[in-house]
Amino acid sequence: MSTNNKNPLRLSGDKLVLLAAIAVVFALFTALNKNFLSVTNMINILIAASLVGLVAIGHTYLIIAGQNDLSPGSLAAFSGVMAALLAGKGISFGPAVILTIACGILIGCFNAFMVNRIHLEAFIATLVTQSIVRGFAYIICGGKPISISNRSFIILGKARIANIPLSVWIMMLCIIVFGIILARTKFGRSVYAIGGSMDAARLAGLNPKRIITICYIMMGILCSIGGIIFAARMNSGQPAANVNLEFDAITAVILGGVSFVGGVGDMGGTILGIILIQAFNTGLTMVNVPTFWQYVAKGGLLLFALTTDYIRKQRREKELLEASMKNL
């Protein structure tokens, strides 16, 4: 049975726990490094969160729908390289962005094709895409970063509104738009329905394959936008960029209360998850935790997220059982 939170900003018990966890993370890293709470670092956290945030939006839809995607890091890197390559060939900003996003849509369709038509598990299908797309990112640039000199791309990477980078505003706009779609539209309710029970959704007249395809296309678009923005910020398309991007995004989404088995969650929780994961990552760097220990810490955080998801699932099942017993 799906659970569609009509108000994603409602502070449930899970969200209050998440807010407490964010407060603990901020307090801990501020105690270890007084610059953690500086305005400059807060902006840096938002900048770093902008790419993770865009991917987490896509993962919110996919995981609620009972799907997943391991290819966002590769797709973001490919998109950055593609945009840089097109700009280097003299193609203007608008057409370069459109062509790059079109590539993201095609890759999203490819993922949906493998899941819907070949009936591969989402993890396996998108693992295939992860490898293929990363390979093409290296192939089209000869294995070397491509510098960007196009003025419009440079403005995209450097522009600020109210001292907040444009990339952050783009992320926030996407969160609002996709959050409203998920919470307030028929399509959003359909995503919850197929995640709760695909068979029941099919009997209700929904087309699960079509909904899954749209979700993968949305992920492709969001990853391409994120990759373009990242390349603009770095002034180059880098084929080795964004490794493990999907790892952070999935962790943020699960921490935010989206159930890994589908049918449950909302964009409000994802926002809190994004803040927590990026504050955690930035804090580890600021207190000079070695890179290999950072991987251990991130893995531990994902394990914590999955454990809490399991506990929430058990609690929901218990509540449903108790409710059904009362109706007997």
- What is the distance between the alpha carbons of residues 273 and 190, in angstroms, rounded to a whole number? 24
* b/e burial code for range 306-320 (CB count within 10 A of at least 16 → b): eebbeebeeeeeeee
In this structure, the strands spanning 3-4 and 264-265 are parallel
pTM of structure: 0.91
3-state secondary structure of 160: strand
Quick one: average pLDDT of 157-168?
92
Q: Give me the count of residues in the chain.
A: 328
Distance CA 139, CA 149 (A): 21
Q: Two tokens at 12? A: 């449930």
User: For residue 284, is pLDDT > 90?
Assistant: yes
pLDDT category, 11, cuts 50, 70, 90? low
Task: Average the pLDDT over 94-123 and give the result.
Answer: 97
Contacts (Cβ under 8 Å, ≥6 apart) of 211: 65, 187, 190, 191, 194
Q: Is the pLDDT confidence value at 58 over 50?
A: yes
Per-residue model confidence (pLDDT) at position 1: 43
Domain ranges of the chain: 3-322
CA angle at 152 for the pair 150 and 157, rounded to the nearest 5°: 95
Reported as a pLDDT band with limits 50, 70 and 90, residue 168 is very high
Quick check: helix, strand or coil at residue 144?
A: coil
Q: Do residues 70 and 128 touch, judged by C-beta distance below 8 A?
A: no
- Counting residues of the chain whose pLDDT is more than 90, the rounded percentage is 82
Q: Is the pLDDT of residue 177 over 80?
A: yes
Handedness of CA 83, 142, 50, 16 (dihedral sign): positive
CA-CA distance, 309 to 63, in Å (whole number)? Answer: 12
SS3 of residue 148 by DSSP: coil
Q: For residue 37, what is the DSSP state?
A: G
The 3-state DSSP composition of the chain as helix, strand, coil percent (nearest 5) reads: 75, 5, 20
**What are the structure tokens assigned to 234, written together?**
């770095």
- 111-138 pLDDT per residue, tens: 999 999 999 999 999 999 999 999 999 9
Question: For position 128, what pLDDT does the model report?
Answer: 97
When pLDDT is averaged across residues 231-260 and rounded to a whole number, the result is: 93
Other CB atoms within 10 Å distance of the CB of residue 169: 16
Tell me which fold the domain 3-322 belongs to.
ABC transporter involved in vitamin B12 uptake, BtuC (1.10.3470)
